Chain A
Amino acid sequence: MPAPRWFNANTAWRMLGSSALSLVLTLAGLLAVTFVMSAFSPIDPALQQVGDHASAATYAQARHALGLDAPLPLRFAHYLIGLCHGDLGISTATGQAVAGELREVFPATLELSTIALLISAIAGVGLALLSARWPGSWVDSAIRVISLLGSSVPIFWLGLVALALFYAHWHWAGGPGRLDDAYEYTIDMPTGLVLLDSWRSGMPGAFASAIRHMLLPALLLASYVLGSIARLTRTSLLGELHQEYVTLARAKGAGPGGILLRHVLPNCLGPMLTVIALAYTNLLQGAVLTETVFARPGLGRYLTNALFYGDVPAILGATLVLGIVFILINGVTDMLVRLLDPRLR
């Protein structure tokens, strides 16, 4: 087959350019919001540093040292310059650079939620196809119940039950943490992605252990968004079945399964991608609870701790990272939806 004629490099670049521009603008908005949040937060970092009983002079000195006495625009400029150098401030709770701490915990969250996303997207679309193939049948009802259960049972409760059954009782899955204790402190974590690092460590036991520990949290997290992916994809598939091109496909002699897969599914790509992107952002949020229940290091647990300690730079740093990831996910989805639709290319 000849090279696809639709691919016009010019339009593709123009489209990517306009998407990139809107990404940059949204990012600027996010930066302004996080800065304003830090500037007007009721927690006073200077007071936090010197304590309640410090003299006024000590307090003023601390304020000056932290740059809090400068005018707001200047502080915003300092904040931006710091960001450009990868400086997100110093955590008031640990005294470490927030950027460094985030670099350690964020890959773990990204890994967990990406694996959960893959599971839920594949299973969700598969279940939706089954539902749409036999709508109103017992298959459809069973899938409806499964999806409702997943999204309506609280994840921390489900997590505890799963741990009690599959770990404590039957020993099928790994327990809390990312690895068995034997490996936890012996393996190097250069990337922070436990599956990748344990694979590269050359110890098969470590990789198996990482998978066993990943299984329950990933499945639970996946079940949290599985329902919405399955339900919305099913609705979108069934809506397309009334289209005239479906009648023509039937008139050609195509069977119901072939019509769903070859004709209807491609026409649902747009809504499906949007639902899956939304699920991804939900998963990153859901990871907070999952990481807490399963005692896995990650952005979720980091953020929870930072909130308890009133650690403003850590909270804002984590917020910024999450915000950037949300913006990127939405931007990439937007581009994909447009690139995949021949009418919008």
Chain B
Amino acid sequence: MAEHPLLRVEQLEVRRRHGDATPLVGPLSFEIGPGATGLVGESGSGKSLTVRALLQLLPPSLQSHSRCMQFDGHELSTLRERQWQALRGADMALVMQDPRHALNPRLSIGTQIDEALRLHARLPRAERRERVLAAMHEVGLPQPRQLWTHYPHQLSGGMGQRVMLAIALINRPRLLIADEPTSALDTHLRDQVLELMMHLADAHGMSLLLISHDLPLVARHCRDVLVMYRGRLVDRCAAAALDTATSPYTRALWHCRPSGDTHGQLLPVFDPAQMDPVA
């Protein structure tokens, strides 16, 4: 990468706090941004744990450790929990997979978006309200004023995901981390929400880390791709170069797509014995 990376991670590991010492994830070293980076891998490959570790959101039974984690030139691995709280949501924001579970069922939409703003900015109530309404408008939520007092169960999945996007974007973070943001949506909505996210990330100069198990989707939208397998990073390449990937896992993943052309043919099968993890 020619430009300066926004986030640089070296030797990131996630382990159980008690029990065996073999890491669940890592050691991983990678760089993110500027622009959009995709993180792909099959279920259980450690994508979500990696994301949680980047935001220090691991459950109490797990812990992460890294030799170096630099965000915009600042070292994060020495931050205290209070400093992480100031960083999370303001500089690094998260969009989760399923709005039906990730939004609080007891709080109104307006309250939940407003909270993200309230936690990081000391603004008068009226101004906060304007900002929230603007954010709702920006992510394409219709009639924000009416929607303010609605509850998550009254929204469709697509609208729920737009609410989550508004929560993530309202503080104009430098890095937006989207953990399988479209897996809970149907195909039609999937592209709509993703297009919106790409567009907004681009418009506000945000870097994006897009986690997905859908390699073609990542290839369409991202500049660089990181490939994970069994907790390790097995490949990293430009999205444009996926056709000619050298890693056997990436090749298998890339070519393992049924289509009209492959009709009647056996899809490639990945042989784990070929694996030689990098990093």
| Chain A residues in the interface with B (C-beta under 8 A) | 1-2, 4-6, 242-245, 247-255, 258, 262-263, 266-267, 269, 341-343
State whether the Cβ of B221 lies closer than 8 Å to any Cβ in chain A.
Answer: no
Considering the complex, give the chain B residue whose CB is closest to the CB of A258. Answer: B119
Report B-chain residues with C-beta under 8 Å of the C-beta of A4. 149
Question: Could you say which of B52, B106, B167 contacts A252, with CB atoms under 8 Å apart?
Answer: B167
Partner of A342, one of B52, B106, B146: B106
B88 touches A6 (CB 8 A): no
* Interface pick from B12-20, B32-40, B95-103: B95-103
21 CB contacts below 8 A, A to B, read A2-B149, A5-B146, A242-B59, A245-B102, A248-B94, A249-B104, A251-B93, A252-B89, A252-B115, A252-B116, A252-B119, A253-B86, A253-B119, A254-B119, A266-B104, A267-B104, A267-B105, A342-B105, A342-B151, A343-B151, A343-B153
B164 within 8 A of A: yes
Interface size class of B (residues with CB under 8 A): 35 or more
**Contact across chains for A245 and B115 when beta carbons are under 8 A apart:** no
Query: Is A245 touching B105 in the complex (CB atoms < 8 A)?
Result: yes
Q: Are A251 and B149 in contact (CB under 8 A)?
A: no
Chain B positions 107-145 with a Cβ under 8 Å from a chain A Cβ: 107-108, 110, 115-116, 119-120, 145
CA distance A263 to B104 in the complex (A): 7
Q: A244 contacts B148, CB within 8 Å?
A: no
Q: How many A-B residue pairs have CB under 8 A?
A: 89
**Please, which residues of chain B bring their CB within 8 A of the CB of A343?**
105, 151, 153
Cβ of A2 and Cβ of B89 under 8 Å apart?
Answer: no
The answer to whether A1 touches B57, judged by C-beta atoms less than 8 angstroms apart, is: no
Query: Is B68 at the interface (CB under 8 A from chain A)?
Result: no
Q: Per a CB cutoff under 8 Å, which of A245, A250, A254 touches B101?
A: A245
Contact A254 B106 (CB under 8 A): no
Q: Does B185 contact A (CB under 8 A)?
A: no
Q: Which residues from chain B contact A342 at a C-beta distance below 8 Å?
A: 105-106, 108, 151, 153
Is B150 part of the contact surface with A, judged by Cβ < 8 Å?
yes
Measured between alpha carbons, how far is A343 from B103 in the docked complex, in Å?
Answer: 13
A248 with B167: CB separation less than 8 A? yes
Q: Please state if A244 and B86 are interface contacts (CB–CB under 8 Å).
A: no
A247 B115 Cβ-Cβ under 8 A: no
Is residue B234 contacting chain A, with contact meaning CB distance below 8 A?
Answer: no
| B252 lies within 8 A of chain A by Cβ | no
Question: Inside 8 A of B116's CB, which chain A residues have their CB?
Answer: 252-253
A342 nearest CB neighbor, chain B only? B151
Known: A1-B149, A5-B149, A6-B149. A254 touches B103 (CB 8 A): no
Decide if B102 touches A244 in the complex (CB within 8 Å).
yes
B246 at the A interface (CB under 8 A):
no
- A267–B167 Cα distance when bound, in Å, is 20
CB distance from A248 to the nearest CB of B (A): 5
Q: Kindly report which residue of chain A lies nearest to residue B164, judged by CB atoms.
A: A248
Residues on B with beta carbons closer than 8 Å to the beta carbon of A258? 119
Q: A244-B102, A251-B94, A343-B105 provided; 10 other pairs, C-beta below 8 A?
A: A2-B149, A248-B96, A248-B104, A253-B90, A254-B115, A255-B85, A267-B104, A267-B106, A342-B153, A343-B153
